[in-house]
Structure 1
Amino acid sequence: MLEKHFSAPAIARAIVIVAASCAFSLPAAAASGKPVQLALSELKKEELPKPAEPAKPDAMQKPAGETPPAATEQPAAPSDGDADTPAANDGAVVPDSSIAMPNAKEGAAAAQVEYDLSKLPFPVRKMHELILTAAKSGNIEALRPLIGSGDDVTMLSLTEIEGDPLAYLKSLAGDPEGMEILAILVDVLESGYVHLDAGTPDELYVWPYFFAYPLDKLDAKQKVELFQIVTAGDYDEMKQFGTYVFYRLGITPKGRWRFFVTGD
């Protein structure tokens, strides 16, 4: 019975004092330097939107017979999980060119050459078939969905490229429509292949097999296969490098078209 002991003005002043002390309690705790416990979700992100007001109990009840809304689908992780995928940089692609560099030097052991496509994992065999079919179509645009975009775009150069990847491929050809590049693709994909770095993150299937086959170990039959892709003059120049440096194409075990490049 406060009114028996205190007047109304006294009670009002007491309420103001209590409210003021509560208002300064949190800032004082922060100023004291004591760590503030954060939720796990707050530790992952610097800024989070304010949580929505909780729904009233009756609004949260699902009416009988009503199907609950589907959960929001999260973006899938890259199918290949490669740590060295190229990244976008102001419209340019910065490739990790090391994986596309020829690795067969004179005197090195010759890699196992394969011609049987049935030995390929299904995703690799399927991508090989899709690229070959697109190349034989005579329409370079058919390569666009296979090249991809963003972090999963196929490496088409050992250096940065800007703009449309198909325009870049056309610029490499001796004709304006890029038919020469399509013909090279066909020749490369119809050659033998090698399986490299099995069981490692860098595992690849690469065409042509000259990518990993020392030039000084080529027999007469293999030189004919090489001259189906390059000229004798190209071969003489390659001997100066000691390795094949013309177009090569790599596909990962999960069917990602990793690169199609030329040069050293």
Structure 2
Amino acid sequence: MRIPTDGKTLLRGSLIVLSALFATTALTLPARPAFALSELKKEEVEVPQKPAEGEKAAPVEEEQENAAPVELPQPDPLIRKRDSVTEPADEPAVTDDKPAEEEPQAPVEVLYDIEKAPEPVRRMRQLIVEAAASGDIERLRPLLGKGVTETQVSMVESKEGPVETLKGQSGDSDGIEVLAILLDVLATGYVHVGQGTPDEMYVWPYFTAKPLAGLTPPEKVELLRIVTAGDFADMQEFGSYNFYRVGIAPDGQWKFFVTGD
């Protein structure tokens, strides 16, 4: 018998053969149970379980526990400020003690009576006055001493003798101006300072030991017989008397005749 070979017949036969093959394969594969959507999610995601007590922790956790704590660097000293909220400033302790008051200065005793000074002091003063009044500065030379007993006539060291130094300080070449100042200074009141010490001295004028702010009008007149009003203003700004002054020790030694601070 002749088998038809048209295209439709061949296509129909191929489909029959393929259907038979799929059916045979489905019968031979093992059956797999169907899962719900929620069960599929549980199967895909695995949740780590907490280790039971007594079990050794993971090495990573041990390293984290044994790691040294991280320390932050301290701020720069320029920006370290006290936090007024978290760290209030220490309050001063409250005490009943009153601040110590400054002791008032004892009043300066101004002396005018030369008889209250020791005899050696009175004698040296008289010799100085007579020499200065003569107008001859050379008459001061034997009174000015020599070596360790030489009278200080300058605030700075000089290789010149005391008479030559005084001439250099005078407004004239003969030293007359300095002699006049010396007389004016010794004509004022004086003070006795350093009692009982190696620096005990009788000093003219008394302005050297008295605050200028406390001078009375008559005392200001006395001061202006020695200095000018401009000098007085400069002294007030400086804070003390800084013109010529004379010092004689209790034993009669002429210690100094200097000007300046």
Q: Answer yes or no: same fold by TM over 0.5.
A: yes
TM-score under structure 2 normalisation? 0.59
1:257 paired with 2:254, answer yes
Deviation at 1:197, TM superposition (A): 1.2
In the TM superposition, structure 1's runs of 4+ consecutive aligned residues that sit over 2 Å from their partners are: 107-110
SS in 1 for 2:234: helix
Deviation at 1:164, TM superposition (A): 2.2
Counting matched residue pairs gives 158
1:177 paired with 2:174, answer yes
1:116-159 deviation per Cα after TM superposition (whole angstroms, max 9, x unaligned): 00111000000000001100010000000000111100001111
8 Å contact 2:152–2:162 — kept in the other structure? no
Question: Which residue among 119, 123, 131 is the counterpart of 1:122?
Answer: 119
1:167 corresponds in structure 2 to 164
8 Å contact 2:135–2:179 — kept in the other structure? yes
| In structure 2, distance between residues paired with 1:110 and 1:221 | 17
Deviation at 1:224, TM superposition (A): 0.2
1:220 corresponds in structure 2 to 217
SS in 1 for 2:203: strand
1:138 corresponds in structure 2 to 135
157-166 vs 222-231, which moves further: 157-166
1:230 paired with 2:227, answer yes
| In structure 2, distance between residues paired with 1:205 and 1:227 | 22
1:184-209 deviation per Cα after TM superposition (whole angstroms, max 9, x unaligned): 00000010000001111110000000
In structure 2, the CA distance between the partners of 1:174 and 1:108, relative to structure 1 (3 Å rule), is: farther
Q: Which runs of 5+ in 1 are unaligned?
A: 1-106
Q: Which has the higher contact order (CA 8 A, sep 6+)?
A: 1
SS in 1 for 2:247: strand
1:64-110 deviation per Cα after TM superposition (whole angstroms, max 9, x unaligned): xxxxxxxxxxxxxxxxxxxxxxxxxxxxxxxxxxxxxxxxxxx8544
Letter in 1 for 2:139: A
In structure 2, the CA distance between the partners of 1:115 and 1:261, relative to structure 1 (3 Å rule), is: same
Letter in 1 for 2:244: Y
| In structure 2, distance between residues paired with 1:164 and 1:256 | 17
Aligned pairs (5 A) from 1:46-85: none
SS in 2 for 1:156: coil
8 Å contact 1:155–1:260 — kept in the other structure? yes
1:200 paired with 2:197, answer yes
Deviation at 1:227, TM superposition (A): 0.4
8 Å contact 1:193–1:209 — kept in the other structure? yes
SS in 1 for 2:196: coil
In structure 2, the CA distance between the partners of 1:124 and 1:114, relative to structure 1 (3 Å rule), is: same
Larger radius of gyration: 2
| In structure 2, distance between residues paired with 1:135 and 1:117 | 18
| In structure 2, distance between residues paired with 1:226 and 1:152 | 30
TM-score under structure 1 normalisation? 0.59
| In structure 1, distance between residues paired with 2:145 and 2:218 | 36
Q: Percent identity?
A: 56
| In structure 1, distance between residues paired with 2:205 and 2:135 | 21
| In structure 1, distance between residues paired with 2:164 and 2:193 | 30
| In structure 1, distance between residues paired with 2:174 and 2:224 | 24
1:18 corresponds in structure 2 to none
